[in-house]
Structure 1
Amino acid sequence: MGDSFADVRDVMVEGESGLLACSPKATRPVFEPSRRRLSWPNGAVATLYSANDPDQLRGPQHHAAWADEIAKWYEGERCWSNLVLGLRLGSAPRVMATTTPRPLRWLKRLMAEPSTAMVMGSTLDNRAHLAPQFLDEVNRLYAGTRLGAQELDGRMIDEVAGALWTRKMIEAARIGPLGHDREPVFTRIVVAVDPPASHGEKADACGIIIAGLDEDGLVHILEDASCQGLRPLQWAERVARAYERHAADRVLGEANNGGDMVEAVLRQAAPGLSYRAVRASRGKIARAEPVAALYERGLVRHRGCFAELEDEMCSYSGAAGEHSPDRLDALVWAVSDLALGRMSAPHLRRL
């Protein structure tokens, strides 16, 4: 079982380290994608499941399971419960979970269970199967950082002292994605952009956050469309698509670094979009504090799981030398405009 059926097929089954590649030719299973099934010569059968549909697990029963990247499952706790409840065949049913550890409450409870056996490993433990250039680069970029401890060393990294957001605050704000439950009526939707100063693999990300304000005054984070490594026109086209997809009212672009260039490149991608430049007159922490207060008051909702954005929110403390939080910057601009800015002038909403 994986986060999506595509992940199960492309990584767990057909990937370079997937079941097909790791099986000896004589005992290699037959993969039937249309039936979501692997069949071995000895009669063993494995069924493929997606965490996007937890109710698929209601009814079937199994002897054993493999669950991959459980920390990124949208409804992780619900999926895990349904999976475990179906492990009722044989004398010793069990499940193997492989994941990068993230400080989720249900995952920490699972790790603390007396029946859970923990095996920890780092990226360096697999150095024989990784490109030396990759190892040199990730060590140079992430060694000694919080992200490196989590992604490279496989350590569970919890709250960061001084960060304005906590995991508890974000979990309290989380609800289902659009289409998952009753749709709110949005009175205003914005796309906030924190543009990078350059492009390429080593450049900062382009933070692109879409947020809406509902009739009750709650701000909903609708999508994190951030990207990295794209040229200006490419990320501008990404912004334009998000603007159209969400029928947004305005694009907010941070102009401290790019100045008029930000508007010019966005106009190339979509000449008719409504745009307003925003400029930072205070530091990042000072701008973020009022937004964090809105979370504390229960006035912001996350429509789904935005792992990279939430990692930035819970790890940025404003300490000297910290990497600029591009997604967080865009989030702060979006929420500030919707909930802390002045009332917008009367305008027409496109339906």
Structure 2
Amino acid sequence: MKSLLLLQLTGLLGLLTPNASAQSYTNFIRQVQGDTGVQWDATVAYQGTQASQLEVPLAGSRFELWTLLSTPLTSYLLDTKLVGAYVPSATVAIRTEDPYALVPRTRADRPFYVDVTTSGLLSGASFPAASKSVTLFRHVQSYGAGGTGVGIDRTQATLLTQASIVTNGSQTLSYQVNSIPGSDRTAVRGEERFSVFSLADTVSNVPASQLASQYVQIWPLARGSIDGITGNQKIRFAPPALTVTVNDLYPNSRVYVQIYKGASQLGMSGTIIPGSAIIVNDSVPQDRVILLKDYGSIFTEDGQWTMELVTSTPFGIDRLSFVSFTVDRTIRVNGMINTQN
């Protein structure tokens, strides 16, 4: 028996604002027929309902929710659903500390959580095996040095674990660290993908199909340096020109150089050097070079001062580099007074 399916567009597309969706993204649903492999793409609004373009066969149909970013041209698979006779349902949702709505993402040193929900699983000897169990797969894939994931071949991902699920309900998997390949754990970049697949149904000749999938992007920790000044340097009058270099700034972050009186101390809030603050609002990490000069008016008195390169992200405030030095602008005159009779 074949029937049309009424699709409801909720979830991830609903997290995009109507304005952003209209101006920057093209959203569409791809329907792939389980018996013939025929596919049909239908453009959709960022929310609402509409009927499927093709009838759903006995072998089922897979529905893929995609969004296409115009600049830079990038496509994102947001969600998948398999619909058919005796086909269980599943959802996969990944949570991180970053509120970014489009694709779950986090930093290499931060945890993430995977919520897996299954329903429609049956029990009993009279039902086919494909209706009584599903398989959860965990894949990892590195983007490589400087990679962003654009154009990545996900068939090359490494299968890390797989497990059978035979009961309906929800479970949360917690990961304190990621498993992206790389010797320097602070510099890895890549993605972890969690997918739920149905079993192959040999009775109906239906192959194993993806029921739900989501991936989380892992980005490296930022690194930075302050060049042009050295530790314990004495500044007499005009301070030296500085070159501030920052690599792998988190896609949602702020970076700045601050100065405060006294020795180095974590957690200090100082005066931000004008021209040093940069806000990053992007989909991938960024590199920046900042040139600073003519900042001597910040030093209100002589003595020891500390300069810090700081970044603020959804995970907190981190110091990337610092240097302590001495300001001594006192003019001393050495002389002798002679008297004559």
Determine which structure has the larger helix proportion and give its number. 1
Bigger share in strand:
2
TM-score by length of 1: 0.20
Question: Which structure has the larger Rg?
Answer: 2
When normalised by structure 2's length, the TM-score is 0.20
